[in-house]
Amino acid sequence: MIIGNGVTTIGVTAFSDCSSLTSLTIPESVTSIQSSAFSRCSSLNSVTIGNGVTTIGVTAFSDCSSLTSVTIGSGVTSIGERAFEDCNSLTNVTLNSNAIVSKSYTSTNNISNIFGKQVTNYIIGDSVTSIGEYAFYNCSSLTSVTIGSGVKSIGRWAFSTCYSLTKTNYTGDIAGWCNIKFYTNPIYYSHNFYINDQEVKDLVIPNTVDSIQNEAFAYCSSLTSITIPNSVTSIGYKTFDHCDNLTNVTLHSNAIVGKSHTKKSNISNIFGTQVTNYIIGDDVSSIGEYAFWGCTKLTSVTIPNSVTSIGTYAFSTCSRLTSVTIPNSVTSIGYAAFSCCTSLTSITIPNSVTSIGEYAFSDCTKLTSVTIPNSVTSIGEGAFRGCSSLTSVTIPNSVTSIGYEAFSYSPLTIVVCKATDVPYVGGGAFDNLSQATLYVPKASLDEYKSTEPWSNFKHILPIEDSGEDPSNPDDEENGSATSVENTNAPSPMTNCQKIIRNGQLLILRDGKTYTIMGQVMKEK
């Protein structure tokens, strides 16, 4: 049925019990639909209410048992009690009325009381600017919600207890969603997110966005990767919380990576501890305090040449991080920057670094190899403390001081110190001296033997007698690459020659090179 444009009011029970009426379009001229106007129209299956209607009366469409879809125009400001009561087939509702959607409801009087709990799909039109408190509370059959591009805020408990929700769709763009103020987010229940019916798995934030609101993508388990541009200067609280399948994050934002964080508010709190790979973009110039602290599943991180400093505790407790290459743009490594990275096996420090911060690599219990370049002048207090797998180290000629407990609780058996001027050493810098061998320049041998704690090493031998090539004094920085084969050398090691290469004591025998643990080295 089509009602003519001249009609302004549809009166009480005007079409009640019209059992043959199947569809209804109400024109713009109508402003009021009064109580029970279409009640018990048992064959009515769809209703479109024009934008001119402002009020829908009590029980206006009650007991329309075949009604499956309703569209509410943008002009509607009030809908009476039980307006769609017992419309048990009603599953699809489109709401263009800002007044209806944005108002504050209660848990016992809200949109589910108007249209019924059986509705499975709500479409919120682009003309709606906000979703009110408790608006869709307890819509227990709701499986899909479409949120219009005009929505700027979603109120508290707006979708609470919508446990059947499986799809959150948005008709705007990523930039629009990032700017919505969320007091409740339907993604919490749907665990996915669609833009114009396209599921978002690889999220790329556009460079028009400067901030992302609290919990904007929280619980979006469909997300697998995220790219954050340099334009983003702030990311809200728990923005990507519980995105359980998110494993890859690319960060171009210097404001995010470079800022000083805390343990409770850092990158692991933003993206979650499940992320395994971070790529830091070349827009980033520094890695801030606590930036990646607690990223316990992080196995790989790419640090670009643009980064000049790595802050305090920046990667501390990244317990699955196995290797790190620090670019030659970095000049400083902060306090405890890589402490407690218990899976870290090797670290290459570039020759741009002049100092290794206090406790920088402390308690890296699997660290077996470290390259300290000739640019380093000081090794900080506790820098390699508790590195319980580190058995040898080469200290370059440039080093003038080694801090308190720098290598304590690290079972060094070979220490090569190339400094011709004996470096200052803080208390407890080396443990197990009675079992360790120290190699030093021949010209400084007597001075090392007479200076504590150097003099406490079991053996103090000249580097020149160790077999190292004297024509290549920077061999530990520039030596040929080698890898270890899982092949044991014959034992005992007799008729062999000992050399130092890349700061490591090696054994030559029968044309092969072995580690002191008996593993054969394969030349690359």
Asked whether the bond before 490 is cis by omega within 30 degrees of 0, the reply is: no
Looking at residue 111, its pLDDT comes to: 96
pLDDT at 472 over 60: no
pLDDT at 470 over 60: no
CA distances 211 to 193, 200, 202, 490, Å, are 19, 19, 19, 63
pLDDT at 324 over 70: yes
Q: Which residue has the tokens 């930039």?
A: 175
Q: Given pLDDT bands bounded at 50, 70 and 90, which one contains residue 469? A: very low
Looking at residue 492, its pLDDT comes to: 43
Q: Which of 188, 135, 140, 183 is nearest to 161 (CA)?
A: 140
Please tell me the distance from the alpha carbon of residue 478 to that of residue 497, in angstroms, as a whole number: 22
Looking at residue 496, its pLDDT comes to: 63
Helices (H) and strands (E) in the chain, counts: 8, 42
- Burial label for 495, CB within 10 Å (0-12, 13-18, 19+), is exposed
pLDDT at 113 over 80: yes
Looking at residue 444, its pLDDT comes to: 96
- Burial label for 524, CB within 10 Å (0-12, 13-18, 19+), is exposed
Q: Are 66 and 87 in contact (CB under 8 A)?
A: no
pLDDT at 42 over 60: yes
pLDDT at 500 over 80: no
Q: Which residue has the tokens 């009675």?
A: 434
- Burial label for 6, CB within 10 Å (0-12, 13-18, 19+), is exposed
Token pair, residue 339, equals: 């402490």
46-49, strands of its sheet edge to edge = 23-26, 46-49, 69-72, 92-95, 121-124, 144-147, 167-170, 194-195, 198-199
Q: Given pLDDT bands bounded at 50, 70 and 90, which one contains residue 325? A: confident
pLDDT in tens, 372-406: 999 999 999 999 999 999 999 999 999 999 999 99
pLDDT in tens, 52-66: 999 999 999 999 999
pLDDT in tens, 268-277: 989 999 999 9
pLDDT at 424 over 50: yes
Percent of the chain with pLDDT over 90: 79
Other C-beta atoms within 10 Å of 257: how many? 26
Q: Which has the higher per-residue pLDDT, 251 or 348? A: 251
Looking at residue 522, its pLDDT comes to: 60
Q: Mean pLDDT over residues 208-229, rounded?
A: 97
pLDDT in tens, 502-515: 555 677 777 777 76
> What is the DSSP code string of 127-162?
T--EE-TTTTTT-TT--EEEE-TT--EE-TTTTTT-
Q: CA angle, 64 as apex, 60 and 70 as ends, to 5°?
A: 75
Q: What is the 3-state secondary structure (H, E, C) of 238-298?
A: CCCCCCCCCCEEEECCHHHHCCCCECCECHHHHHCCCCCEEEECCCCCEECCCCCCCCCCC
**Poorest-confidence range of 85-94, 191-200, 254-263, 416-425?**
254-263
Q: Which has the higher per-residue pLDDT, 327 or 468? A: 327
pLDDT at 483 over 60: no
Please tell me the distance from the alpha carbon of residue 278 to that of residue 262, in angstroms, as a whole number: 19
List b or e across 219-232, with b for residues whose CB sees 16 or more CB atoms inside 10 angstroms: bbebbebbbbbbbb
Altogether, the residues listed in the chain come to a count of: 524
Q: Are 313 and 335 in contact (CB under 8 A)?
A: yes
Please tell me the distance from the alpha carbon of residue 438 to that of residue 502, in angstroms, as a whole number: 15
Looking at residue 505, its pLDDT comes to: 65
Q: Given pLDDT bands bounded at 50, 70 and 90, which one contains residue 414? A: very high
**Poorest-confidence range of 80-94, 210-224, 385-399, 459-473?**
459-473
- Amino acid symbol at 60: A
Q: Are 214 and 182 in contact (CB under 8 A)?
A: yes
Q: Mean pLDDT over residues 320-338, rounded?
A: 93
- Amino acid symbol at 477: E
What residues does each domain of the chain span?
Answer: 475-523
pLDDT at 10 over 60: yes
Q: Mean pLDDT over residues 175-202, rounded?
A: 98
Q: Given pLDDT bands bounded at 50, 70 and 90, which one contains residue 16? A: very high
Looking at residue 465, its pLDDT comes to: 62
Please tell me the distance from the alpha carbon of residue 501 to that of residue 498, in angstroms, as a whole number: 10
Dihedral (Cα; 200, 201, 207, 212), 10-degree rounding: 80
Percent of the chain with pLDDT over 70: 90
Other C-beta atoms within 10 Å of 351: how many? 16
Looking at residue 491, its pLDDT comes to: 42
Residue-averaged pLDDT of the chain: 90
- Burial label for 523, CB within 10 Å (0-12, 13-18, 19+), is exposed
